Amino acid sequence: MHGSIYTDPAIFADEMERIFYSTWVFVGHESEVPEPNDYVVKSIGPQSVIMTRAKDGSIHLLQNRCAHRGNLVCEAPKGNTLAFRCQYHGWTYANNGDLLGFPYKQGYDGVLDKSNITLGRVPRVESYQGFVFGSFAPDGPSLREHLGAATECLDRLARISPAGEVQLTAGWLKHRVKANWKMLLENETDGYHPQFVHSSIFSVATSGIGALYSENSTALCRDLGNGHTENDLRPEFRRIAEPMGWFGTTAEKVPNYVQAMRDSYGKAAEEIMIDGSPHVMIFPSLFIAEIQLFQIQPLAVDQTVQHVTCMQFKDAADLNRRVLQQTIGSVGPAGFLLADDSEMYERNQRGVAARNPEWVLIARGLNREHTDAEGFTVSNNTDETTLRAIWRHYMTLMDH
Ligand code: FES
Ligand SMILES: [Fe+2]
């Protein structure tokens, strides 16, 4: 790829139109608005979007923009309300987007028909395993078609819960970086860097993670199609064959969880607890790294916010507590892992602005990638098969 793909504001503007405002983009999870009239402020690219649960239980994605003169209608990050009232001139909207009324209405008699005015609605809203996606394109592939093979990863994630349900209820951290959003997208699925960038945390935390990302690892990287990619760590976890080994712990440390899994899944529980949670990047902005979830929000060609939360699994209190602690240690404000990556994004952004050489190389593993039994292209976990998968899909969206 040419270095300017990360630095050219015109390309960024084009990407917002052709990717973030055209394809399916992850917005949030149904568990973030569990009760009728709950809402959270979310985003699709730079656009502010309110995810609401109306009183009939339906989920809506509304543009955070007053139909009068464009002020934000919702300032609080979350809450519970039947209506949003614009602070500027007091227009009020129901939590399904309908205009309820405006003050001093004589000035609009014969001018406006209230029933024609609503908050902007994201035209398509669909969810899978509770993950809510929005698309600004009124038609096109369904969410299921877009997710394709990545649905299996979300199914695998849900099965980590004895109740089969993920809950995104731990709250969100935001990290703002001076880098193009695609630097983050690539890094999430890059199995080449961990041993170098994260060597400090691996050395102090006696973690087995580093070894998963080495040339000797049996873990694989996989092109799932539609720009989705996976680092499949299961071959290593199966080799170790320890329930909860994927989480760096043992069954004895989380006895209630293990019992609940056995009660729910019977014999299959052992396999689920050995295989663990997926490591999957869902194009263009949702990344699940076993126990953490990241949403990449592009703001400008060289400004990106990474929203981070940790997975919580329904009916898994003892596991959840540990997941939260590990997340604070790795991606919290004083965490070791994300700080390393953020530094790399920003250095990379400065580096690619150089005039010479102009190109970035994404050829690693071209000599050894191959097709697995299900027809997916796979390669050594340190290879750039995943990056090529992202760019191939990117080109199809940007070319038309
Ligand atoms: S801009 Fe919202 S009421 Fe005027
Ligand atoms: Fe990293």
Distance 88 CA to ligand 2 centre (A): 43
The amino acid that residue 325 corresponds to is: Q
* Partners of 237 in beta bridges: none
Residue nearest to atom 3 of ligand 1 (CA): 89
Q: Please provide the average confidence, as pLDDT, over all residues in the chain.
A: 96
The confidence score (pLDDT) of residue 50 equals: 98
Distance 384 CA to ligand 1 centre (A): 49
* DSSP 8-state symbol, 121: B
What are 124-180's pLDDT values in tens digits?
999 999 999 999 999 999 999 999 999 999 999 999 999 999 999 999 999 999 999
The confidence score (pLDDT) of residue 238 equals: 96
Q: Is 71 in the pocket of ligand 1 (CB under 6 A)?
A: yes
pLDDT band at 206 (very low <50, low <70, confident <90, very high): confident
End-to-end CA separation in angstroms for the chain: 18
Distance CA 225, CA 385 (A): 11
H/E element, 232: strand 228-232
Alpha-carbon separation of residue 115 from 99, 282, 284, 394 (angstroms): 7, 38, 36, 40
pLDDT at 400 over 60: no
The amino acid that residue 34 corresponds to is: P
The amino acid that residue 371 corresponds to is: T
- Residue 66 CA: nearest ligand 1 atom is 2
What are 52-100's pLDDT values in tens digits?
999 999 999 999 999 999 999 999 999 999 999 999 999 999 999 999 9
Distance CA 260, CA 320 (A): 13
Q: Which of 15, 65, 72 is nearest to 45 (CA)?
A: 15
User: 367 with 232: CB under 8 angstroms?
Assistant: no
* DSSP 8-state symbol, 201: H
Q: Kindly give, in sequence order, each residue whose CB lies less than 8 Å from that of residue 111, ignoring residues fewer than 6 positions away.
A: none
Select the more confidently predicted residue: 39 or 335: 39
pLDDT at 339 over 80: yes
Q: Is 88 in the pocket of ligand 1 (CB under 6 A)?
A: yes
- What percent of the chain shows pLDDT beyond 70? 100
Q: How many CB atoms lie within 10 A of CB 364?
A: 19
The confidence score (pLDDT) of residue 204 equals: 81
As given in the structure block, the two tokens for residue 208 are 């087995």
The confidence score (pLDDT) of residue 335 equals: 86
Report the residue among 65, 88, 102, 118 best suited for mutation to probe ligand 1: largest number of ligand atoms under 8 A from its CB: 88
Distance 312 CA to ligand 1 centre (A): 38
Average pLDDT over residues 20-34: 98
**Ligand sitting nearest the alpha carbon of 91:** 1
- Residue 91 CA: nearest ligand 1 atom is 3
Rg from Cα positions in the chain? 22
Q: Is 91 in the pocket of ligand 1 (CB under 6 A)?
A: yes
**Order of strands across the sheet that contains 92-94:** 83-85, 92-94, 99-101
The confidence score (pLDDT) of residue 208 equals: 76
Distance 189 CA to ligand 2 centre (A): 9
Distance CA 344, CA 338 (A): 10
- The number of helix segments (H) and strand segments (E) in the chain equals 13, 21
As given in the structure block, the two tokens for residue 210 are 């580093």
Residue nearest to atom 1 of ligand 1 (CA): 69
Distance 195 CA to ligand 2 centre (A): 9
User: 344 with 187: CB under 8 angstroms?
Assistant: yes
Report the residue among 63, 65, 68 best suited for mutation to probe ligand 1: largest number of ligand atoms under 8 A from its CB: 68
* Partners of 308 in beta bridges: 173, 294
The confidence score (pLDDT) of residue 210 equals: 80
H/E element, 124: strand 124-128
pLDDT band at 207 (very low <50, low <70, confident <90, very high): confident
